[in-house]
Structure 1
């Protein structure tokens, strides 16, 4: 009897002990994805910006993006069945383009999500500070204390079993969705059926100089649906749960925001909504709610906006922690980040590391005197660009993967060739728009654009260089990169 046979049970036990575990179903998984997009923050914050760029064409833009990302999901879902790893885009890029590109993609994902998530502490801090001091007449506590408090809360939740986060996110999402539906119904009812008809779907013109920015902001609202694959080890029946949750998330997000944009247009008027969004971007939603259903529901909306930011931050922290865990499990990051909590079966050390990173950054920028209003657009914009770039790379990796397999395992041409090609073209165009409009994306100067864009590309190519270093000096670690997880 050889040593491999003798050691097999031991290896199996170690593998099981170091696996994440959970019991999420389709609904909870979809709510995790929806939490990432932060529905109320999107309708109150991002959607007015999109209306400022697109006006009455906003619903059509959302429907177009939904269609394109559904096509992307065809290859994405097919890939999830072929590459059964919990590494998300990291596993997909590795399978399609090789280990160096996969490691570069993983660095993009990890830092991209950490950057996106850092929008939440300063935004939450400023929002809650204003609500407590102005609306409630309470003490004027500095924003950074609220920022540190929300970081502590999400870190405690991310430390625990994913089922706890899923239940909390589901409850918050249902409340957010409810208040937005109230706004939609009130808006459509306010001016009668004729107003609804006049706010019908209007297609954008490709000659419109601002349609590119509108498209870019709309795509950003869908980020996070990759989580359906990242939670592979923490869902029930992943081969059926993941595809259903992916398609439901994309369709649900697209239709939800398209209807909300349509409601804005119905309330303000198709010929006035763009000007209203330009003149009153920050308060467009709250003023509309106040005018439709009164100040009380508007104040409730502010409270739910605060909890929406918490839910969004928690969703992002869970995703970032799982990327850190996957990289640590492959020994590309320090191995202690790959520890699994013995009771909660969560990546608790990685979750703590993400929370500590956000807390340290909050303290650092506070000491440096950087205003929170400067922080959150830069954090969100630069992180979103990193994730968008990764999505484009992943779409190309999916195409390459299935093209290579056609000789030995030919499959549906639509799923493995046509849909991935359309995804590459669409995401390539959106990535180009992001590069061309990067200053608007981060709300910063040309200098900041150069710094953050250079850093983003350096992450990807730095990961490639690091992979080649591992191949030369640590071939055992290189062999593990992006490895298929054991089911």
Structure 2
């Protein structure tokens, strides 16, 4: 297939009014990705956990992951130009490994993102409840009301045109980035040049067994960049916008978090940071910010942490809705979910459905008496594993796709063979680490590990079986799978 850039390529067989539409540029697409990674929530919540596992090795781990994911992006971007369909990994896996594997990958994507997003209602509810009661001295409203409120807000935004979400996410992300930059500068300034020089990119504990867990958590901080391709119909000049946004997002996230980890190490000291993170993981960032800049700034940081969770949840809901839309457009799920809003050109039915799933789950777990503190790690951990498994499958699909084409359409060996092969090995190692450390990933017991890991693999293989069923009973639907062009 030619690599000629085609704006808004038409999928044969789909009426124009059934397609999504938008006008996002590179910057807005990058901000959508950055919102997924939730910078403030990551620096305040995930980064202290990573420091607990890796200590002063944390910045070096981020640099390593950045390099590996940039290499992954080489094949990923090349694939996005060859497979010009707005189905994301669903299209990629289909093109490389066939329709059954593609449908299994689509189920992993849809449910993985829904699971990851479900971390937000409980986390948001508990955080906002604590802020209202302890800082504002307001009424003690149960966390689930806050959780249902944020679901309503993000669903209303996801219902609308993607450009609205993009503008909101851009504003929130700029504020979050500003807060973290202030922390970085304050930490480096307070401790002096000698402390800065002695901290950071030192892989002295690379042989430590816990570094594997740190690597796993670091990879999870980059999630969201892989979804740039799902917005193909909603960006300007898709080939250029998607490729630039992908590289910028990966490099930007890696540099941003590496410097933040370096700032933590500079503040607490290379020899003390791991112990500090272990003794007070939850409050590590807030305490550091309070000591460096003052309590008022720490309170502002808490407010932005709350909006950060909202932005993250909105980004995830937008991505999940588009995977649901793609499956519905191919009639793999009821076509009702593939409806496009006549004015907003958004997958509004799919967005509402995801909001209703989150609301129903919030009510169910509240009635069952499940603690919100238990919901957060289970939802984010199980969803993270599903998306990680999908990324590994996709990297293998990219390699197979270009290997098959070499006999009649040979292209750059680096872009089509070497980079995808490195990605397969790297993501294979990270996937193994996730399986080996699954209890720590979800914060659960051995029984919960068996249940959620089995369910994740069942999603993929269930999709494969369903595809074979469609091939034998509904060949008209089977031929559509993977958002392929239909003649």
TM-score by length of 1: 0.97
State the 4+ residue runs in structure 1 displaced beyond 2 angstroms.
Answer: 11-14, 204-207, 483-486
**Is 1:134 aligned to residue 138 of structure 2?**
no
* Matching of residue 43 in structure 1 with residue 71 in structure 2: no
Distance of 2:211 and 2:188 partners within structure 1: 25
Counterpart contact for 1:328–1:336, Cα < 8 Å: yes
User: Does the residue aligned with 1:341 lie in a helix, a strand or coil?
Assistant: coil
Aligned to 1:33: 33
Q: Distance in 2 between matches of 1:99 and 1:147?
A: 37
* SS across alignment from 1:191: helix
Unaligned 5+ segments in structure 2 are: 1-10
| Alignment CA distance shift 1:116-1:485 (3 Å) | farther
Is the 2:60–2:200 Cα contact (8 Å) retained in structure 1? no
Contact 1:94 1:482 in 2 (8 A): yes
CA–CA distance in 1 between the matches of 2:70 and 2:452? Answer: 30
Matched, 1:351 2:351: yes
- Aligned mates of 1:156, 1:228 — CA distance in 2: 22
1:78 aligns with 2:78: yes
**Maintained 8 Å contact 1:61/1:204:** no
The residue number in structure 2 matching 1:157 is: 157
Deviation for aligned residue 1:226: 1.7
Any gaps of 5 or more consecutive residues in structure 1? 1-10
Task: Say whether the 8 Å CA contact 1:325–1:337 is kept in structure 2.
Answer: yes
Q: Aligned-pair distance for 1:204?
A: 5.1
What is the aligned partner in structure 2 of residue 303 from structure 1? 303
- Equivalent positions of 1:36-435 (< 5 A) are 36-203=36-203, 205-435=205-435
Query: Are residues 357 and 284 of structure 1, via their aligned partners in 2, closer, same or farther at CA, if it must alter by over 3 Å?
Result: same
**1:471 partnered with 2:471:** yes
TM-superposed deviation, 1:374: 0.3
Deviations 1:10-54 (A, max 9, x none): x98961100000000000000000000000000000000000000
1:291-325 per-position Cα deviation (integer Å, ceiling 9, x unaligned): 00000000000000000000000000000000000
What is the rounded CA distance, in whole Å, between the counterparts of 2:171 and 2:485 in structure 1? Answer: 31
Q: Is the 8 A contact 2:12 2:485 kept in 1?
A: no
Instruction: Please state whether the residue corresponding to 1:20 is helix, strand or coil.
Output: coil
User: Structure 2 CA distance, aligned partners of 1:304 and 1:43?
Assistant: 12
How many pairs were matched up? 476
The CA deviation string for residues 238-265 of structure 1, in whole angstroms up to 9 with x for no partner, is: 1110100000000000000000000000
* TM value normalised by structure 2: 0.97
Query: For 1:188 and 1:14, how far apart are their aligned partners in 2?
Result: 55
Deviations 1:143-180 (A, max 9, x none): 00000000000000000000000000000000000000
2: distance between equivalents of 1:402 and 1:320? 27
Q: Deviations over 1:384-415 (max 9, x none)?
A: 00000000000000000000000000000000
